């Protein structure tokens, strides 16, 4: 994949986020989108080596659309300034669709590569299941948090949007209560592709996802 060309394109899109510019540059978009699909297509078999559950994931469906959903947003920019994908065992990428834990990555207009694993802002019922799983399998969750590869790669779970008080139905002295307060159960890390582009981006992504696998596997047990 021509990563520098993608970053250049996304940067220009960020400065010209309108339909006229997008249509005029559609040939560039089509080429970059095809290369991104090729990257994801090659990435899935690498993930399958440590997580066979994602073998049935359709790479075309793993890619997110570049069009933004503007229905409930004050920002009326029509296009996202990222190329992104989520690889799941269910083949569904959105939490609202019941996609479950995912391996997610995106490249943005600043040349930032974000690599993540887990569940970001799952719907209410799914979030309740995960929180209950934290309490019911406290020992297993502790094992995930202490996993050497996960800690070295991601440090800890992200606590974006964490509640101040325990959620309804959970005692303040419940196991891992500070994690029970989380609204997402996900790890992520960011690196700058402007500083250095990996010789093999697919291999780099697969390594990051392998480090996140203990969390993904544990989340699948939350039912």
pTM for the predicted model, two decimal places: 0.94
Query: Long-range contacts for 138-146 (Cβ within 8 Å, ≥24 apart)?
Result: 138/175, 138/176, 140/218, 140/221, 141/175, 141/176, 141/179, 141/218, 142/176, 143/214, 144/214, 144/215, 144/218
> Contact 10/81 with Cβ under 8 angstroms?
yes
Under the banding of pLDDT at 50, 70 and 90, the label for residue 96 is low
Give, to the nearest 10 degrees, the angle between helix 26-48 and helix 3-15. Answer: 130
First-residue to last-residue Cα distance in the chain: 38
Q: Say if residues 81 and 9 touch (Cβ distance below 8 Å).
A: no
The answer to which of 37-41, 59-63, 74-78 has the lowest mean pLDDT is 74-78
Q: What is the model's pLDDT at position 134?
A: 98
- The first and second tokens of residue 220, run together, are 């699948």
Whether the per-residue pLDDT at 56 is higher than 90: the answer is yes
State the pLDDT at residue 189: 97
Residues 215 and 104 sit within 8 Å (Cβ to Cβ)? no
Count of structural domains, the chain: 1
What average pLDDT score do residues 207-215 get? 98
Helix (H) and strand (E) counts in the chain: 9, 4
The pLDDT value recorded for residue 90 is 87
Q: Residue 23 has which token pair?
A: 């249509």
What is the average pLDDT value for the chain, to the nearest integer?
95
Strands across the sheet with 185-192, in order? 82-88, 102-108, 112-119, 185-192
% of the chain residues with pLDDT over 70:
98
Query: Torsions phi, psi of 175, nearest 5?
Result: -55, 140
pLDDT at position 173 = 95
- The predicted-structure confidence for 32-42, as pLDDT tens digits, reads as follows 999 999 999 99
Residue 71: domain span:
3-220
Q: Is the per-residue pLDDT at 20 higher than 90? A: yes
Q: Is the predicted pLDDT of residue 94 greater than 80, yes or no?
A: no
């Amino acid at each position: 994949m021509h990563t520098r060309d993608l970053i250049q394109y996304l940067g220009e899109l960020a400065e010209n986020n309108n339909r006229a510019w997008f249509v005029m540059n559609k040939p560039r978009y089509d080429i970059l989108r095809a290369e991104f699909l090729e990257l994801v297509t090659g990435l899935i078999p690498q993930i399958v080596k440590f997580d066979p559950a994602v073998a049935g994931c359709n790479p075309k469906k793993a890619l997110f659309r570049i069009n933004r959903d503007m229905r409930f947003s004050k920002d009326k920019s029509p296009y996202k300034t990222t190329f992104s994908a989520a690889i799941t065992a269910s083949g569904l990428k959105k939490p609202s669709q019941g996609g479950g834990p995912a391996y997610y990555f995106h490249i943005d207009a600043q040349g930032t590569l974000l690599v993540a694993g887990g569940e970001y802002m799952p719907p209410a019922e799914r979030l309740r299941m995960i929180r209950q799983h934290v309490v019911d399998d406290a020992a297993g969750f502790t094992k995930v948090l202490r996993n050497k590869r996960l800690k070295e790669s991601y440090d800890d779970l992200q606590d974006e949007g964490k509640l101040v008080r325990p959620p309804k139905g959970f005692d303040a002295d419940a196991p891992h209560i500070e994690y029970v307060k989380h609204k997402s159960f996900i790890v992520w890390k960011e690196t700058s592709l402007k500083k250095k582009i990996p010789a093999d981006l697919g291999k780099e992504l697969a390594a990051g996802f392998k480090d996140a696998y203990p969390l993904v596997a544990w989340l699948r047990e939350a039912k």
